[in-house]
């Protein structure tokens, strides 16, 4: 008799029946392993959480200081009911982890969100050999191919400088958690005053207090209008088309996201500049990562699921699409993430 | 190519007119003349025709990218632009090219005599040296689909400022027929070339829609009013005993309207008139859709000439006795026009747009209601002191169109848009009731705000009943008020009716599905306005 699958896809999570534990549940459950602290993967209301130690400060900030949270190092493992669990770097954001699950020699890896490019802030992705791999497919089309990070960083620096010379402030937008720390880390040292939107300031300070090496970026709310002259302001995408921006006039807006690879996506947002910088794997990275796992079976979650699964099948890797609730991250361009 | 690609990207990034002009000026100050000429040709819509079949370009691209056709189609569906999709899937370039824009156009001429295999090698070799953005622009040029969000007015302004010529002069010089393969930038902008000055049209003066009340225009006696005809805006030129007819799209259309051949003898040499070509029968203009049956046909057959005969309704004169009279006031130009018309013995297809008699603005308001009966779209209101200006200008010429016809209809099918709206469902098909069935009758693309588009898009994605390729059948529920300009019988449409310029006027969230209009309502409108 064939025993049940090591991991299953339920109406609320990726679930391990043998250990009765959920991975990134989108409904409250008893025990949850959290791959990373983005809001579509780390939901409120579970009884016990388990995550990488670098996720702790943000998880407590977002889900409550008193949540029951156990943390692990990368590579550290524990066993429940004969099932062995361990976390491995996913390279997506600080603390992001792939969850390796092993029972009697059979290995599954749930990768959450990941990227292969080293962003020089969070530990880079490590391929984990497995039989079954669960992959995202946010950018699972061959039109998405990222340039090296340093090229994008140079583009941003040139844009900021040009704005400064024209007497404009630069409003650089992206996710508060992950993208912004990556930008701050790689754009420093700064040749102009810098400020952060409150949401970003909070994340930064949380991480700095937890010991991460990030420069101090003062919050916008403590500054005067006079301070905003040729300044660089880190903001979330939610400020677009709001009066919050008024104090920075004249300014230019830039948005950092993988979606910016497509002209239409950039134009729809009515922003001045799109920078193609993503914390997700591009087309080549997805394929490289899957090959590196040696997996014979791949489940494809959030993104271009059906397309990417079909592509893998045609390449001879048994693959199926899976419906989850991931991919609805804060500020995500929901119209472009239709599964 | 780098310089031109950068110009393209930077123009694409800004919506501010002054920034665009500054970018264009910088380009026209720094680029070599050969490139400027090509850039000008592209900016004024003179793109050379497609050199290679799109299907071939696509085939070579997917071969280079090592992906199957279906995956290419999926990608194209997400990008919404073929040239861009190809630029994104191709492997990164292995070297860089130093060719300029004009050198690439010279490269294209090699394609003319090449075999398919040679063409393929030429294109692939080019791709290998171009960056992603350069490839995008290259593909657009190759496919004859290059477009850019810069108006001719801005380009003219920029060239005027860098060459210290007036906009009017530059505007005139870049009009008409010229070929970037055959002329030079210096000749075009600084020299007068006699061969094509004979055919060269003047830039059209375009009106804005009336803002606010008629009374805001001041005294009625300072103004002319005439019907606004619904045809093809055209310029008739008779010089050196030759006739040239230009459409507003700067196309030479003389051959498409043999009925107007007689204008060559009816008008004295050295005459340029502004007016409208409309289909005309029994002293009455016919609806635009009859004219439409002629547009785009390669050959004008006898059948067309009997079924859809055209006339030229003149309403202004730009050149008289070989002199540019655009600086004379409207009133004087009108007199000249009337004289020209009166001197013509057999009028035939030559008509003059009558001036409407009114003393008070209220007279005009009453008359406006009769627009449709006169086969007009409303009024043109022109200040008697107006000069004939260049391009779209406010102040002296106003158009006052009739309200569109409208009907409440149900969204039944949706398709993704292209370009800016590639990932959103923005192309909708609407239906009206016939008994308990919904009969599709019109497609409409525009009229919603971005926020509404996103909301409808979400509805469509969550309420899809079936998918046929790119088209989704949507659960009927959303009701929209659809406006249109004209209505006609049509054997090609299931509803038996074709509407002109359909567009969304309002999202009728207050209306239930059952409250949408019926096919009988549509037929009623047809009866009333035919």
| A186-200: pLDDT as tens digits | 999 999 999 999 999
* Contact criterion met (CB < 8 Å) for B81 and A267: no
Residues in B touching A310 (Cβ below 8 Å): 70
Mean pLDDT (chain B) is 88
* Contact criterion met (CB < 8 Å) for A267 and B65: no
Band (pLDDT 50/70/90 cuts) for residue B196 is: low
Tens of pLDDT, residues B464-487: 888 777 788 899 999 999 988 778
Residues in B touching A145 (Cβ below 8 Å): 88, 92
User: Is A337 within 8 Å of chain B by CB?
Assistant: no
Chain A residue with Cα closest to B16: A272
Residues in A touching B61 (Cβ below 8 Å): none
Chain B residue with Cα closest to A254: B13
Residue B177: the pLDDT is 77
* Contact criterion met (CB < 8 Å) for B68 and A304: no
Does ipTM exceed 0.85? Answer: yes
pLDDT at residue A335 above 70?
no
pLDDT at residue B441 above 70?
yes
Name the residue with higher pLDDT: B229 or B13: B229
Residue B89: the pLDDT is 97
pLDDT at residue A336 above 80?
no
Q: Nearest 5 degrees, angle CA B492-CA B495-CA B496? A: 55
Indicate the residue of B12, B71, B454 with minimum beta-carbon distance to A142. B71
Percentage, residues of chain B above pLDDT 90: 48
Identify the CA nearest to B345 among candidates B266, B268, B272: B266
- Residue B458's beta-bridge partner residues? none
Lowest-confidence pick of A120-134, B168-182, B189-203, B322-336: B189-203
Cβ atoms of B173 and B196 within 8 Å: the answer is no
Among A219-228, B487-496, B506-515, the range with the most confident prediction by mean pLDDT is A219-228
Report DSSP letters for B447-487, one per residue: ---HHHHHHHHHHHHHSEEEEETTEEEE-S--EEEEEESEE
Tens of pLDDT, residues A37-62: 999 999 999 999 999 999 999 999 99
Percentage, residues of chain B above pLDDT 70: 96
Among A285-294, B166-175, B307-316, B472-481, the range with the most confident prediction by mean pLDDT is A285-294
Lowest-confidence pick of A177-191, A228-242, A284-298, B389-403: B389-403
pLDDT at residue B357 above 90?
yes
pTM here? Answer: 0.72
3-state DSSP helix/strand/coil % of chain B, to nearest 5: 40, 25, 35
Residue B190: the pLDDT is 84
Indicate the residue of A263, A265, A311 with minimum beta-carbon distance to B71. A311
Residues 6+ apart with CB under 8 A from B67: A142, B75, B89
Band (pLDDT 50/70/90 cuts) for residue B505 is: confident
- Residue A15's beta-bridge partner residues? A8, A22
A309: its two tokens:
């699964």
Indicate the residue of A264, A307, A338 with minimum beta-carbon distance to B80. A264
Cβ atoms of B232 and B291 within 8 Å: the answer is yes
How buried is B18 (Cβ within 10 angstroms: 0-12 exposed, 13-18 middle, 19+ buried)? exposed
Cβ atoms of B82 and B58 within 8 Å: the answer is yes
B19: its two tokens:
């920034």
| Distance in Å, alpha carbon of B89 to nearest chain A alpha carbon | 5
| Distance in Å, alpha carbon of A271 to nearest chain B alpha carbon | 8
User: Whole-angstrom Cα distance, residue B98 to residue B93?
Assistant: 13
pLDDT at residue A178 above 80?
yes
Q: In the predicted model, what is the mean pLDDT of residues B277-297?
A: 80
Lowest-confidence pick of A66-80, B162-176, B333-347: B162-176
Identify the CA nearest to B21 among candidates B143, B139, B158, B207: B158
Cis peptide before B412 (omega within 30 of 0): no
Cβ atoms of A85 and A78 within 8 Å: the answer is yes
Residues in A touching B14 (Cβ below 8 Å): 272
pLDDT at residue B192 above 70?
no
User: Is A143 within 8 Å of chain B by CB?
Assistant: yes
State the maximum Cα–Cα separation within chain A, in Å, rounded to a whole number: 74
Question: What Cα–Cα distance (Å) separates residue B290 from each residue in A196, B227, B296?
Answer: 61, 19, 12
Band (pLDDT 50/70/90 cuts) for residue B377 is: confident
Please count the CA atoms within 13 angstroms of the CA of B44 that sit on its side-chain side: 26
Chain B residue with Cα closest to A310: B71
pLDDT at residue B271 above 50?
yes
| SS3 state at A32 | strand
Q: In the predicted model, what is the mean pLDDT of residues A65-80?
A: 96
Indicate the residue of A142, A267, A307 with minimum beta-carbon distance to B89. A142
Indicate the residue of B89, B457, B461 with minimum beta-carbon distance to A143. B89
* Contact criterion met (CB < 8 Å) for A143 and B85: yes
User: Is A213 within 8 Å of chain B by CB?
Assistant: no
Residue B465: the pLDDT is 84
pLDDT at residue B528 above 70?
no
Among A70-84, B44-58, B282-296, the range with the most confident prediction by mean pLDDT is A70-84
Band (pLDDT 50/70/90 cuts) for residue B411 is: very high
Residue B13: the pLDDT is 82
A19: its two tokens:
């250990």
Signed CA dihedral, B123, B124, B130, B133: sign only? positive
Chain A residue with Cα closest to B456: A335
Identify the CA nearest to A147 among candidates B93, B71, B64: B93
pLDDT at residue A4 above 70?
no
User: Which of B14, B63, B74 is the mutation pick for testing A, counting most A CBs within 10 A?
Assistant: B74
* Contact criterion met (CB < 8 Å) for A268 and B421: yes
pLDDT at residue A334 above 50?
no
Q: For tokens 């049956």, what's the residue?
A: B293
User: Whole-angstrom Cα distance, residue B107 to residue A155?
Assistant: 31
User: Which of B148, B422, B462 is the mutation pick for testing A, counting most A CBs within 10 A?
Assistant: B422
* Contact criterion met (CB < 8 Å) for A264 and B423: yes
Identify the CA nearest to B244 among candidates B233, B232, B257, B253: B253
Per-position b or e across B446-480, b if 16+ CB within 10 A of its CB: ebbeeeebbebbebbbebeeeeeeeebbbebebbb
Band (pLDDT 50/70/90 cuts) for residue B191 is: confident
Residue A338: the pLDDT is 25
Residue A121: the pLDDT is 96
| Distance in Å, alpha carbon of A259 to nearest chain B alpha carbon | 10
User: Whole-angstrom Cα distance, residue B83 to residue B146?
Assistant: 9
| Distance in Å, alpha carbon of A253 to nearest chain B alpha carbon | 11
**B125 membership: H or E segment, kind and range:** helix B116-127
pLDDT at residue A161 above 80?
yes
User: Whole-angstrom Cα distance, residue B194 to residue A333?
Assistant: 56
Tens of pLDDT, residues A78-90: 999 999 999 999 9
Residue B313: the pLDDT is 96
Q: In the predicted model, what is the mean pLDDT of residues B314-322?
A: 96
Chain B residues contacting A via beta carbons under 8 Å? 12-14, 65, 67-68, 70-71, 74-75, 78-81, 84-85, 88-89, 92, 419-424, 450, 454, 457-458, 461
User: Is A127 within 8 Å of chain B by CB?
Assistant: no
Q: At what angle do helices B54-65 and B82-89 cross, to 10 degrees?
A: 20
pLDDT at residue A1 above 90?
no
Cis peptide before A250 (omega within 30 of 0): yes
Report DSSP letters for B338-399, one per residue: HHHHHH-S--TTEEEPPBPP-SSHHHHHHHHTTGGGGTEEEEEEEETT----SEE-SSSEEE
B57: its two tokens:
């370009």
User: Whole-angstrom Cα distance, residue A117 to residue A124?
Assistant: 7
Mean pLDDT (chain A) is 92
Among A254-263, B199-208, B479-488, the range with the most confident prediction by mean pLDDT is A254-263
Pairing outcome for strands A297-303 and B350-352: unpaired
Identify the CA nearest to A203 among candidates A38, A34, A33: A38
Identify the CA nearest to B81 among candidates B414, B446, B420, B415: B420
- DSSP 8-state code for residue B493: S
Q: For tokens 């009374």, what's the residue?
A: B215
User: Whole-angstrom Cα distance, residue A162 to residue A168?
Assistant: 8
Q: In the predicted model, what is the mean pLDDT of residues A144-153?
A: 97
pLDDT at residue B120 above 50?
yes
Question: What Cα–Cα distance (Å) separates residue B213 from each residue in B155, B218, B365, B383, B386?
Answer: 34, 10, 10, 16, 20
User: Is A307 within 8 Å of chain B by CB?
Assistant: yes
Residue B305: the pLDDT is 86
């Amino acid at each position: 008799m064939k025993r049940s699958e090591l991991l299953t896809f339920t109406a609320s999570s990726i679930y391990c029946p043998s250990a009765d534990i959920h991975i990134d549940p989108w409904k409250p459950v008893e025990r949850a392993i959290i791959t990373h602290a983005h809001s579509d993967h780390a939901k409120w209301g579970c009884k016990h959480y388990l995550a990488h130690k670098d996720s702790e400060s943000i998880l407590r900030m977002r889900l409550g200081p008193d949540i029951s949270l156990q943390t692990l190092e990368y590579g550290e493992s524990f066993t429940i009911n004969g099932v062995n669990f361990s976390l491995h770097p996913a390279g997506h954001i600080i603390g992001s982890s792939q969850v390796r699950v092993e029972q009697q020699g059979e290995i599954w890896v749930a990768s959450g969100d990941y990227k292969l490019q080293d962003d020089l802030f969070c530990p880079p992705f490590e391929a984990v050999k497995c039989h079954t791999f669960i992959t995202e497919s946010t950018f699972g089309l061959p039109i998405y191919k990222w340039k090296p990070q340093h090229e994008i960083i140079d583009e941003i620096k040139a844009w900021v400088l040009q704005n400064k010379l024209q007497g404009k402030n630069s409003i650089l937008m992206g996710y508060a958690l992950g993208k912004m720390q990556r930008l701050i880390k790689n754009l420093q040292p700064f040749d102009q005053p810098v400020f952060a939107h409150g949401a970003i300031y909070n994340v930064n300070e949380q991480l700095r207090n937890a010991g991460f090496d990030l420069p101090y970026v003062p919050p916008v709310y403590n500054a005067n209008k006079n301070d905003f002259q040729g300044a660089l302001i880190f903001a979330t995408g939610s400020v677009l088309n709001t009066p919050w921006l008024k104090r920075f006039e004249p300014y230019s807006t830039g948005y950092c996201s993988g979606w910016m690879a497509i002209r239409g996506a950039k134009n729809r947002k009515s922003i001045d500049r799109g920078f193609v910088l993503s914390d997700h794997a591009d087309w080549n990275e997805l394929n490289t990562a899957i090959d590196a796992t040696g997996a014979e079976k791949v489940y494809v979650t959030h993104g271009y699921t059906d397309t990417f699964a079909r592509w893998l099948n045609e390449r001879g890797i048994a693959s199926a699409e899976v419906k989850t609730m991931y991919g609805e991250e804060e500020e995500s361009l929901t119209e472009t993430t239709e599964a | 190519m780098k310089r031109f690609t950068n110009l393209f990207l930077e123009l694409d990034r800004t919506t501010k007119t002054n920034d665009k002009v500054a970018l264009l000026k910088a380009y026209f100050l720094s680029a070599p003349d050969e490139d400027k000429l090509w850039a000008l040709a592209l900016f004024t819509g003179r793109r050379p025709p497609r050199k290679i079949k799109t299907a071939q370009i696509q085939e070579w691209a997917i071969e280079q990218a090592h992906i199957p056709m279906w995956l290419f189609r999926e990608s194209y569906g997400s990008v919404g632009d073929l040239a861009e999709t190809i630029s994104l899937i191709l492997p990164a370039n292995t070297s860089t090219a130093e060719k300029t824009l004009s050198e690439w156009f010279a490269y294209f001429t090699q394609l003319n005599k090449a075999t398919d295999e040679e063409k393929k090698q030429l294109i692939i070799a080019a791709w290998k040296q171009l960056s992603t953005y350069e490839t995008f622009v290259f593909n657009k040029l190759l496919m004859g689909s290059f477009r850019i969000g810069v108006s001719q007015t801005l380009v003219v302004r920029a060239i005027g400022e860098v060459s210290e010529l007036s906009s009017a002069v530059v505007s005139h010089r870049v009009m008409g027929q010229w070929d970037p393969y055959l002329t030079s930038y210096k000749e075009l902008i600084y020299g007068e070339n006699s061969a094509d000055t004979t055919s060269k049209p003047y830039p059209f003066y375009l009106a804005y829609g009336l803002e606010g009340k008629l009374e805001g225009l001041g005294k009625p006696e300072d103004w002319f009013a005439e019907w606004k005809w619904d045809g093809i805006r055209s310029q008739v030129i008779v010089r050196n005993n030759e006739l040239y007819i230009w459409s507003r799209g700067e196309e030479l259309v003389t051959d498409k309207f043999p009925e107007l051949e007689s204008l060559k003898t009816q008008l004295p040499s050295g005459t340029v008139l502004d007016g409208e070509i409309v289909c005309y029968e029994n002293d009455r203009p016919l609806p635009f859709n009859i004219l439409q049956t002629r547009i785009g046909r390669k050959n004008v057959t006898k059948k067309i000439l009997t079924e859809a005969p055209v006339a030229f309704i003149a309403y202004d004169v730009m050149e008289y006795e070989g002199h540019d009279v655009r600086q004379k006031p409207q009133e004087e130009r009108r007199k000249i026009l009337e004289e020209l018309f009166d001197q013509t013995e057999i009028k035939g297809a030559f008509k003059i747009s009558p001036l409407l008699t009114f003393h008070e603005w209220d007279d005009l308001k009453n008359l406006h209601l009769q627009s449709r009966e006169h086969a007009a779209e409303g009024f043109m209101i022109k200040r008697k002191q107006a000069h004939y200006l260049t391009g779209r200008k406010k102040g002296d010429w106003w158009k006052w169109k009739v309200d569109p016809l409208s009907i409440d209809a149900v969204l039944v099918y949706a398709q993704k848009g292209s370009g800016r709206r590639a990932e959103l469902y923005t192309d909708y098909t609407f239906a009206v009731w016939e008994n308990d069935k919904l009969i599709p009758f019109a497609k409409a693309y525009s009229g919603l705000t971005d926020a509404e588009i996103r909301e409808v898009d979400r509805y469509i994605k969550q309420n899809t009943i079936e998918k046929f390729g790119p088209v989704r059948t949507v659960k009927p529920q959303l009701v929209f008020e659809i406006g249109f300009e004209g209505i006609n019988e049509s054997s090609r449409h299931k509803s038996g009716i074709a509407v002109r310029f359909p567009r969304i006027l309002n999202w009728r969230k207050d209306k239930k599905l059952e409250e949408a209009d019926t096919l009988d309502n549509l037929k009623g409108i047809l009866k009333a306005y035919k």
